[in-house]
Amino acid sequence: MSINATLIGQMITFTLLVWFTMQYVWPPLIEALEERKKKISDGLAAAEKGQEDMKLAEKKANKYLKEAKVESANIIALAQKRANEIVEESKNTAKSEGEKMIESAKAQIEQETQQAKESLRKEVSSLALKAAEQILQEEVDKTKHKDILGRTSKQLG
């Protein structure tokens, strides 16, 4: 049970073992552990971020959807309005066109009436003149009584 040179041998072995562990065993393993730890925490953070992003995207999509709905409703309303307007407009146009046609027809009728009246009057006046001429053939000189004849024809007209 004596202390002897074995002690020195053991110390040398121990020193070598510690040196080797320090040099070649500990650093790569602890590095790998740290790296894995980092990887895992990064992964977790990324997952969390992804989830948050998804929530945000969902919110955005909902917002867009709502906006699109409102817009489409607006467009539909506008179109409806426009259609109504067009219908109204064409109605109005047709009405006014009709009125115009009626008007022009009326005017034409009026004109024709006027013409008929005129020709009738002329005929009447010439007939009257002829009659008067025949009656007054002898006494009345056309040139002498031009004034009277003119006045009469004017009164008839």
Partner 1 sequence: MASEGGTTGYIVHHLTPLTVGEGFWTLHLDTLFFSAVLGGLFILFFKSVAEKVTTGVPGPAQNFAEMMIEFVDQQVKDTFHGQSKLIAPLGLTIFCWVFLWNMMDLLPVDLLSLISSLMGIEYLRVVPSTDLNATFALSISVFILIIFYSIKIKGVLGFARELTCTPFGPWMMPFNLLLKVVEEIAKPISLALRLFGNLYAGELIFILIALLPAFIQPLLSFPWAIFHILIIVLQAFIFMVLTIVYLSMAHEDH
DSSP state letters, the chain:
----THHHHHHHHHHHHHHHIIIIIHHHHHHHHHHHHHHHHHHHHHHHHHHHHHHHHHHHHHHHHHHHHHHHHHHHHHHHHHHHHHHHHHHHHHHHHHHHHHHHHHHHHHHHHHHHHHHHHHHHHHHHHHHHHHHTTTT--TTTTHHHHHHHHHHH-
41 binding partner 1? (CB under 8 A): no
- Residue from 36, 63, 81, 91 in contact with partner 1 (CB under 8 A): 36
13 binding partner 1? (CB under 8 A): yes
Closest separation between CB of residue 51 and partner 1, Å?
Answer: 24
24 binding partner 1? (CB under 8 A): yes
| The one segment of 18-26, 55-63, 90-98, 118-126 that binds partner 1 by CB under 8 A | 18-26
Closest separation between CB of residue 24 and partner 1, Å?
Answer: 6
Site for partner 1 in 105-134 (CB under 8 A): none
Interface contacts to partner 1, rule CB under 8 A: 1-11, 13-18, 20-22, 24-26, 28-30, 32-33, 35-36, 39
